[in-house]
Structure 1
Amino acid sequence: MSGPLFGIVPAGQPLIAEPSSTPSPTSFLYALPTTKDFHHIMVFLLPAVSLPPNTAAAIYLATASDVSSGNPNFKFLGGIGPGKESAMFKVSNATTDGLVIGVEVESEESVGQRLQELAANKSKNPSGAQQQQQQQQPPTVVLAQRIIQNAFNFLASFSGTAGPGGVEVVPLKAFQNWWEKFESRVRADPSFLEKQSD
């Protein structure tokens, strides 16, 4: 594999197409800039580049000091290849060390297996924001009770008595009015019932 194969773009930074080192014919290391903060990087195959058949590119991340010490602790981020020529990854360059992206051309099977493991780990260990959302989201029963309470409160103001037994009735039009208002509120803020305190 000769010539630049991959492009790396840290958010808000220029394109990096030349690797800072090539440990093997299928391994490429790209030192990321330390001058500005960024939180995402895009990795992609350069135009007119195609990988050998049945291969894909595994994307890894390590700190520059780990790489220079000869003991890199690369973390698998994801992969690109035929049918998925680019990917964006969330990273943090808060380290003063600097970051290095490693790209390794491997078998499609190996990269696919690693992607499945990564997806399984994410579902077992959701990020802090996902955990917080899962913990804060009320159960379906509570949401149903809040919808009923909302309807009851609205319709109570329309109730009147009718007939010989003094039975309370609510005009059907009132229910239609409640539904229109409720639907409009859900469209404006789909999570309003989740935020409501009991």
Structure 2
Amino acid sequence: MFGVIISGRPVLTEPQALSPTQYAFPLPATPSFSHIVVFLLPGTQLPPDTAAGVYVQIPPSSEFRFLGAIANEKQSAIFKVDGVDPAAMVDPATGQVAPVTLGVSVEPVARIAELMNAKQAQQQQGGSSGMELVRAGAAAANPISTKVLAQRIIANAFNFLASFAGNVGPGGQEVVPLKSFQDWWAKFEKKIEMDPGFLERGDQA
């Protein structure tokens, strides 16, 4: 039902099912990361009047912190995750770094709206801690379709990678070095940190 992407890692699409409405993704803390993409798998629809709350638990804390939500109207989001410090997450019993746990819970829209409002109020009091790039559809004032968002991400990648294309082989097939894609992702991730709303504005610079 849900998928998760962390830069430089394989896409995760098979969470642990804790209940019919609750799922968990154990995420190795190394290498360290600061953003997580959560999305509905193609063809997936949440039940009417529900949204999927996204939570994170970072050792040594046992509490789950609310990050935001996705919904049928907003099927993907990028969340900023603060506090992933592998050096502080070593399990004394095993000597190994404990994993981060990402939780996804299907809940009534009204409950998600309450959590979103509480999070927003907390940020206004203590400063922003990195809201998700795309808010849940129930809370978005000017929703942008998943298709448009995907088109803008692809356009951003194409514009960056086009200058690195070169011809190889007898037929002169055009290729782009893998490192160029890695450089694009690093630049894209940095831009999200500095200006989370640039995709919503359609800014491809």
Normalised-by-shorter TM-score class = 0.5 to 0.7
More helix by share: 1
Which position in structure 2 is the counterpart of 1:14?
10
Is residue 2:69 matched to residue 1:79? yes
Aligned length: 119
Moved over 4 A (4+): none
List per-residue Cα deviations over 1:49-80 (Å, max 9, x = no partner). Answer: 000111100000003666xxxxx411000000
Paired with 1:124 and 1:118, the residues of 2 have a C-alpha distance of 10
Which position in structure 2 is the counterpart of 1:28?
23
Letter in 2 for 1:105: V
List per-residue Cα deviations over 1:8-36 (Å, max 9, x = no partner). Answer: 111221111111x2221100000112332
Which position in structure 1 is the counterpart of 2:115?
114
**1:107 and 1:128, CA in 2 relative to 1: closer, same or farther beyond 3 A?**
closer
Name the % identity.
37
Q: 8 Å contact 1:60–1:76 — kept in the other structure? A: yes
Which of 36, 39, 64 is matched with 1:41 structurally?
36
TM-score normalised per structure 1: 0.56
Paired with 1:128 and 1:56, the residues of 2 have a C-alpha distance of 22
Paired with 2:21 and 2:2, the residues of 1 have a C-alpha distance of 12
Secondary structure at the counterpart of residue 30 of structure 1 = strand
Paired with 1:48 and 1:64, the residues of 2 have a C-alpha distance of 34
Which position in structure 2 is the counterpart of 1:51?
46
Q: 8 Å contact 1:39–1:90 — kept in the other structure? A: yes
For structure 1, the 5+ residue unaligned runs are 67-71, 130-198
Q: 8 Å contact 2:123–2:129 — kept in the other structure? A: no
Bigger radius of gyration among the two:
1
List per-residue Cα deviations over 1:113-165 (Å, max 9, x = no partner). Answer: 11111111111110489xxxxxxxxxxxxxxxxxxxxxxxxxxxxxxxxxxxx
**1:106 and 1:99, CA in 2 relative to 1: closer, same or farther beyond 3 A?**
same
Q: 8 Å contact 1:12–1:38 — kept in the other structure? A: no
Which of 90, 94, 99 is matched with 2:85 structurally?
94
Paired with 2:70 and 2:36, the residues of 1 have a C-alpha distance of 13
Q: 8 Å contact 1:6–1:44 — kept in the other structure? A: yes
For structure 2, the 5+ residue unaligned runs are 90-97, 131-205
Which of 56, 63, 74 is matched with 1:61 structurally?
56
Superposed CA RMSD: 2.0
